Amino acid sequence: MSSLSDNYFKVKEQIAEACRKAGRKPDSVVLIAVSKTHPVSAIEELYQLGHRDFGENRIKELCDKKATLNHWDIQWHLIGQLQTNKVKFLEPAFIVHSLDRLSLVEKLAQRFSNVRCLIEVNCSGEASKSGVAVEQFWDLVDKIAQKPQIQVLGLMTLAEHTNDEKRIRAAFATLRGLSEKLAGQKIFPTYANWLSMGMSHDFPWAIAEGATHVRIGTAIFGERLLPNTKAAENPT
Ligand SMILES: *Cc1c(COP(=O)(O)O)cnc(C)c1O
C-alpha cells in the first residue's frame, strides 16, 4: 500500500474511534479529504479507494481539478473564503462551506436559483479569522432567510491553531449551540444540521463535540508542497 492509502485508512479508523468514544455511529461523520495544493493523481488514488468527498479552499484550483476529473462522481466542497468577484466560477453542484457575509449572500442569490451553503462562524473570536462573528450571526441568518435560493445545510467553523483542548472544544461547542438553536427555529427548510468542523490536528475533539463533517488535509495527503494562500486577503 502507498503511504497515501495508509494515511487514509488510518484517518478513517481514527474517525471511527472518535465516534465510538462519543457514543456515535461511525458513519455519522463524513470525511472531506482536503486536497488543496496536491495533484489530481492523489485525488484519483483516493477515488479508487471509494472516496467521494473532496474539499478545496480556492475556487480556481477546485475548477481546474474538477475539469480534469469531470467524468467522476465527486462531491466537491469549497471550504475557503470566496470573493464575490469569483462567484462566477462557482458551479451549483459545489457545496460552499464559507458563507460569511451579506455581500456574498447577495451575489450568490443573484447568480443561482439553488446553491447549497454552510454559514461560516468565527467561534474563536480571533480577528484574523474568516467567518461571521457570533454577535452578528443572527443578523446574517435573517438576511439569508430572505433569499430562498440559498439552501443552508448547516454551519462551519475553524478552531484556533493551538493545542489547548478546552479552547478548541469551546469553539466547537459554540457552533453546535448555534446550530441547535437555528434548527429549533425552523428558519431554513433545507437545514440538515451539518456541523463542518475539525481538521487534522483537532478532528477527534470536533467529533466529540458533534461534527458531522471533518475537513482533513495534512493527515491524509501529507504536508502541503506549495504555498496556498489561506484566504482572500480582501474579500468584498
Ligand atoms: C486546509 C484546510 C483544512 C485542512 O487542514 P489540515 O490541517 O491540512 O487538515 C480544513 N479546513 C479549511 C477551511 C482549510 O483551509
Instruction: Please work out whether the CB of residue 57 comes within 6 Å of at least one atom of ligand 1.
Output: yes
Q: Report the chain's C-alpha Rg in angstroms.
A: 17
pLDDT (0 to 100) of residue 5: 97
What's the number of CA atoms in the CB half-sphere (13 Å) around residue 124? 19
Atom of ligand 1 nearest to the CA of 215: 10
What pLDDT does residue 234 have?
45
pLDDT score at 92: 93
Centroid of ligand 1 to alpha carbon of 146 (angstroms):
31
List of residues 6+ apart from 218 with CB closer than 8 A? 199, 200, 224
Q: What pLDDT sits at residue 229?
A: 53
Pick the atom of ligand 1 nearest to 203's CA: 9
What is the pLDDT, as a whole number, of residue 225? 72
Q: Which helix (H) or strand (E) holds 201?
A: none
The predicted structure's pLDDT at residue 228: 56
pLDDT at 233: 42
62 lines ligand 1 (CB under 6 A): no
Q: Low-confidence residues of the chain, pLDDT below 50?
A: 230-234, 236
Closest CA to 204 of 7, 6, 14: 14
CA 33 to ligand 1 centroid distance, Å: 9
Write down the pLDDT at residue 55: 98
pLDDT at 226 (0 to 100): 65
CB 118 within 8 A of CB 100: no
> Would the CB of 7 count as within 6 Å of ligand 1?
no
The model's pLDDT over 93-118, given as tens digits with 9 standing for 90+, comes to: 999 999 999 999 999 999 999 999 99
The residue whose grid cell reads 473570536 is 125
**Would you say the CB of residue 158 lies under 6 angstroms from ligand 1?**
yes
- Going from the Cα of 204 to the center of ligand 1, the distance in angstroms, rounded, reads 14
How much is the pLDDT for 224? 86
98 Cα nearest atom in ligand 1:
13
- Helix, strand, or coil here: 227? coil
Cell of 19: 465516534
Amino acid identity for residue 175 in this structure: L
- Give the pLDDT confidence score for residue 227 in this predicted structure: 62
| Strand locations in 68-149 (E) | 75-78, 95-99, 115-122, 132-133
Residue 36 near ligand 1, beta carbon < 6 Å: yes
